[in-house]
Amino acid sequence: MTEPLLPAVQTPHDLDFISHSPAQTERIGIRLGQLLRAGDLVLLSGPLGAGKTHFIKGVARGLGYDGPVTSPTFVLINEYRADAARGRLPIYHVDLYRVNDVTELATIGLDELWLTDGICLIEWPERAAAALPSEYLQVALSYISETKRQVRLMPHGSRYRDLLATFKEATFG
């Protein structure tokens, strides 16, 4: 198994939050989703139950999708659609929890998802670390207590540094 993607040292571009509830985790996702565009790749890491799917639910809501959002643990990929205002942009929700070997990814076309006109959100990205592009936004969630989670947004590449700067401005003024 590869090492987790979360770096040991925080960079000046990273942004940390404390989420006090699943609803608050979703609201952070909504704000981010409102800023995403076609071709964006968001990687979500953290232990089981840390809130990755709640965050993705928020991202989908921020893109105007109002249907159910569930973790595709057994099917690997769920596809949602943004609303008409966002051009019905495809939202790919990938869960790699059950992937044991990077060679398994060739059969699902994972690399094609972030090359499309959609937005790709991947849970358990460390299972495919060797196959991932070098530019993405990483969202790391970790437990603090039963209801609290640390949420760290970490940009990798200029597009994602710009995205995070816009997120900070939109969120904090």
The verdict on residue 6 lying in a domain is no
Query: Residues 100-140: pLDDT tens digits?
Result: 776 667 677 777 777 778 999 999 998 888 788 999 999 99
* Per-residue buried b or exposed e for 97-114, using 16+ beta carbons within 10 Å of the residue's own CB: eebeebeebeeeebeebb
Identity (one letter) of the amino acid at 76? Answer: L
Residue 159 lies in a domain: no
pLDDT of residue 110: 73
Residue 9 maps to a domain: no
- Domain assignment present for residue 32? The answer is yes
* CATH (domain of 54): 3.40.50.300
The stretch 64-71 carries a mean pLDDT of 93
Q: Does residue 29 belong to any structural domain of this protein?
A: yes
What is the average per-residue pLDDT within 131-156? 93
The position carrying tokens 């060739």 is 106
Would you say residue 4 lies in a domain? no
pTM (predicted TM-score): 0.90
User: Between the CA atoms of 170, 154, 65 and 26, what dihedral angle is there, to the nearest 10 degrees?
Assistant: -80
For residue 113, the enclosing domain spans 17-151
In a domain, residue 172? The reply is: no
Domain count of the fold of the chain: 1
